Amino acid sequence: MQTFTLSEKLKYLFSFPVIVAALGYFVDIYDLLLFGIVRIPSLEALDVDIDKAGTLILNFQMTGLLLGGILWGVLGDKKGRLSVLFGSILVYSLANIACGFLPYLQTSNVVGLYAGLRFIAGIGLAGELGAGITLVSESLPKELRAIGTSMVAGFGLLGAVVAQLTVEMAGNWTTAYFIGGGLGLMLLFLRIGVLESGMFQQIEHKEHIAKGNFLSFFTNTRRLIKYLKCIAIGLPTWFCVGILATMGNQFAPYFGIDSINPGKAIMWTYIGISVGDFASGFISHALHSRKKAILYMMLFTAVGICIMLFGGSKSEAHYYFFCAWLGLGTGYWAMFVTVAAEQFGTNVRSTATTTVPNMVRGLLPVMLLGFDFFKARTDVVFSALIVGIVVFALAIYSTITIPETHGRDLEFTE
């Protein structure tokens, strides 16, 4: 195990690739969560049904993330990590700017147009995290990899907080979309100085190595099982964000609370996630284990959900407190994406690291379908509980049984 002086650690951890990846993920999260934050005011302004249209548009965005994850992941392994960092941010920035013009467009199907724009935004948003984490993972020494990726995600996730504050200060949801798109376009210029991953450059011109083959995850049983386990580990994060936070207004009547603002619920969840992501890297580093860090944080989250749903949410403030708790527990997001990067070889690493988190996001519509299905047959709390039990059972099993990757060298191919 190589040792580093404090100055050497700081040089690596605050290198240009880490800083640019963190800023990119900040803008990515801002734009990703913005619809959830402005869902109610934007749909009220457009005079459409909030619940039906909101679920439809969110599902379109998450489907875009699912498909975009495959597109950018394959591109990252075939053309390089930087191609994704430039292309993805351009797509989602322009789509978000277009969302700001929705009130001024004359159309008979504004919901369809809104859903289409969020689908395009979802495609663009899918590339940012995977490419950034892949680039940072391949740029840092293995001893500092967990801390570096946790810094990227920890800072980046603050974008959700800034998105909520921007909406509150701007007083207009369209302005928030314009700001998000503008930030993305500004970041394009900062990325000009970023260098390509050295590991990718070593195999870039080796024609005998198959690069970016997404289907290869399904043609080898061992590789497929690892891939599915990587996806399952991340499911609790989007269960908490997509159901308990984003749909927080649906829980208010059950708990006897006057109102729960989904935007604030998302903000407090991401404050927790940001802190948790910063902590997860250091926890993993201290325990010399990715698996133990993720498992302990996952169990902490499960306890918070039980208290939240069965007696803890007595007021709006209490609900936001538990959102922060769940965010803190699911702050292993960076660690989970790092695990995905470390499981697979350089020739499919970008594909794995980009598709895995977006498969998790893309499965939110499935969780919402289950949530709505059980909600029609029971109440909102027990429908969330049933979905949560399935999600956490899969996640805990996968965490326990997936190979440990702490300290693994990444210079290998599939």
The 10s digit of each residue's pLDDT in 293-327 is 999 999 999 999 999 998 878 899 999 999 999 99
Number of domains in the chain: 1
> Nearest Cα to 280, choosing from 234, 343, 239?
234
* pLDDT(258) > 60: yes
Residues 133-145 pLDDT 10s: 888 888 888 888 8
Q: What is the pTM of this model?
A: 0.81
1 versus 20: which is more confidently predicted? Answer: 20
On the question of pLDDT at 48 being above 90, the answer is: no
Q: What is the mean pLDDT of residues 48-77?
A: 87
Q: Which residue has the higher pLDDT, 1 or 24?
A: 24
Looking at residue 228, what is its pLDDT?
A: 96
Euclidean distance between CA atoms 368 and 145, whole angstroms: 34
Distances (CA, A) of 187 to 27, 39, 195: 9, 26, 15
Q: Is residue 302 assigned to a domain? A: yes
Residue the block writes with tokens 């009547």: 253
Per-residue confidence band for 33, with pLDDT thresholds at 50, 70 and 90: confident
Residue of 181, 169, 166, 235 lying closest to 392 (CA atoms): 235
Q: Which tokens go with 258? A: 């006057």
Mean pLDDT of the region 360-384: 90
pLDDT > 90 fraction of the chain, expressed in percent and rounded:
38
Give the domain extent around 257: 12-194+209-401
204 pLDDT above the threshold of 60: no
Q: Answer whether residue 152 shows pLDDT above 80.
A: yes
Q: Tell me: pLDDT of 232 over 70.
A: yes
The pLDDT mean for the chain works out to 87
Confidence of residue 210 (pLDDT cuts 50, 70, 90): low
**Domain-embedded: residue 7:** no
Task: Tell me, yes or no, whether 3 lies in a domain.
Answer: no
Residue 343 lies in a domain: yes
Distance, in Å, from the CA atom of 362 to the CA atom of 255, rounded to the nearest integer, reads: 29
Do 75 and 214 form a contact (C-beta atoms < 8 A)? no
Instruction: Name the more confident of 291 and 77.
Output: 291
pLDDT at 49: 85
Q: Does 412 reside within a domain?
A: no
Can you tell me the mean pLDDT for 237-253? 91
203 has pLDDT over 70: no
**165 CB burial (10 A radius; 0-12, 13-18, 19+):** middle
User: Is residue 202 very low, low, confident or very high in pLDDT (cuts 50, 70, 90)?
Assistant: low
**Per-residue model confidence (pLDDT) at position 297:** 96
Give the pLDDT of residue 407.
Answer: 80
State residue 224's pLDDT score: 95
361 Cβ neighbours under 8 A, 6+ residues apart: 62, 65, 66, 69, 126, 238
Cβ-based neighbour number of residue 168 at 10 Å? 13
User: Lowest-pLDDT range, 172-181, 205-214, 219-228?
Assistant: 205-214
Q: Which tens digits make up the pLDDT trace of 85-131?
A: 788 889 999 999 999 999 988 788 999 999 999 999 999 998 888 77
Q: Would 414 be classed as within a structural domain?
A: no
- Whether 152 is in a domain gets the answer yes
Asked if the structure places residue 150 within a domain, the reply is yes
pLDDT of 198 > 60? The answer is no
* Domain CATH code at residue 180: 1.20.1250.20
pLDDT of 274: 87
**Which of these, 329, 298, 327, lies nearest to 392 by C-alpha position?**
298
